[in-house]
Chain A
Amino acid sequence: MSPLLAIAPALPLGKAGKYVAAAYIVVFVLILVYVGIMALRAQRTQRELDELRRDVEAVKAAREELEHDDDPDESDPAGRGRTERTEQIA
C-alpha cells in the first residue's frame, strides 16, 4: 500500500463532516448555477418569442389594412394612401 494511503486514517466526524459537506455543496451549487443560467436563457427565448409575436401581429394588421384599402375608394381615386402604406410595410 502506498505511504500516502497509509497515512489516511479515519478522521473524527467533526473534521470529516466539513469535507463531506463541502464536496456535496460544491456539486449542488455547480448544478444549481448551470440550471440558473439555463433558466435565464429560457427567459430570453421567451422574450424573443413575445417580440416575434408582436411583430407578426403588426405585419398581420398592416396586411389586413392593405387588403381593406384594395377596395375602390372614391375619396382617393389615385390610390395615393395605399401606395404610402405599402411602402411603409415594405
Chain B
Amino acid sequence: MRSTTYGKGLPGLALATIVTLGAALALTFFYAPLDANQGFLQKIFYVHVPLAIVALCGFVFAAVMAIMYLRTGDRKWDMRSYVAIHMSLIFGIGGLISGSIWAKASWGHWWVWQEPTLVSYLIVLLLFCTYQPLRFSIEDPERQSLYASVFAIVAGAFVPLNFLAVRLATEYVHPRVLNLEGGNLPGPMKLTFYVALIGFVLLFVTLWKYEMAAKDARAQVRRLRRTLLGDDAGRPYGRSAAPL
C-alpha cells in the first residue's frame, strides 16, 4: 500500500500559517494607519480582499488540476480539484460575508445589485456551488470524475474572463485599490495587505493538504478493508459526491 504524502510537512506549514496570520493581525491593528475616508472600518479590507483573491485563484487552481485529470486519467488529480473547489467555496463565502458586512457599514446596504464586482463574484460563487450537486447526481465514479473535471475547467476559465469583464466596466462603486502598477495604497497598508494575502494563501494550502491527507487516509482504510474482508466491506454507504 502506498503511504500518504499529503500529511508531509503539514505541521510546519500549519505553524507558518499561524505565524503569518498572527503577524497580519498585528500589522492590521497596530501598524497600518487609519484610512482617511473609511477610518477604522477599512480594517475589513485586510481580511475581505485576500479571502476573495485566494478563493478566485483556488477555482483556477482546481481547473488546472482538472486538466491534469483529463490528461492523465489519474484519480488523484480529480481529488485535488475537488478539494480545491471545496476550499475555495469556504474562502469565497468568507469573502462574501465579510464584504457584505463592510458594504452595510460603508454604503448602508448589505448588497448592491447595480455593482458589477459584487454581482459577478456572486455568479462565480453560485456557479461553483453547483459543482457538488453535479457530482452527487452521477453514480458512476468514472463519469462523475470526467463530468466534474470538464465543469471545473469551464467554470475555472470563466473566473479570469469574468474578472477582465468587470475591470472593463466603467460604472462601479466598489473601489479599485490594486493594479499592476502596485495600486494606490500607502506603504504600510500595502505591506499589511501582502502579509495578510500570504497568510491566507498559506491557510488555503494548509487546509487543502489537511483535507487531502484526511481523504487519502480514508481511501486507504477503505482499500485495506476491501482487501482483507472482501469487496462489500470497503464500499461507501450510499452515493458520494467525493471522489472514491
Q: Contact at A20–B228, with CB atoms within 8 Å? A: no
Q: Is B90 an interface residue (CB 8 A)?
A: yes
Q: Is A5 an interface residue (CB 8 A)?
A: yes
CB nearest neighbor in B for A15 = B105
CB nearest neighbor in A for B106 = A8
Cβ distance A12 to chain B, nearest Cβ, rounded Å: 8
* Cβ proximity bits B77-106 to A, threshold 8 Å, 1 near / 0 not: 000000000000010011001100110111
Residue in B104, B107, B203 whose CB lies within 8 Å of A4: B107
Residue in B39, B47, B93 whose CB lies within 8 Å of A11: B39
Number of interface residues of B (CB under 8 A): 42
Size class of A's contact patch?
A: 20 to 34
Q: Is B72 an interface residue (CB 8 A)?
A: no
CB nearest neighbor in B for A56 = B228
- Chain B contacts for A16, CB-based, 8 A: 38-41, 105
CA distance A25 to B36 in the complex (A): 25
Q: Is A78 an interface residue (CB 8 A)?
A: no
* Cβ proximity bits A25-46 to B, threshold 8 Å, 1 near / 0 not: 0110011001100100110010
A-side interface residues toward B, CB under 8 Å?
Answer: 2, 4-5, 7-13, 15-17, 19-20, 22-24, 26-27, 30-31, 34-35, 38, 41-42, 45, 48-49, 52, 55-56, 59
B-side interface residues toward A, CB under 8 Å?
Answer: 34-41, 43-44, 47-48, 51, 90, 93-94, 97-98, 101-102, 104-109, 112, 172-173, 175, 203, 207, 210-211, 214, 217-218, 221, 224-225, 228-229
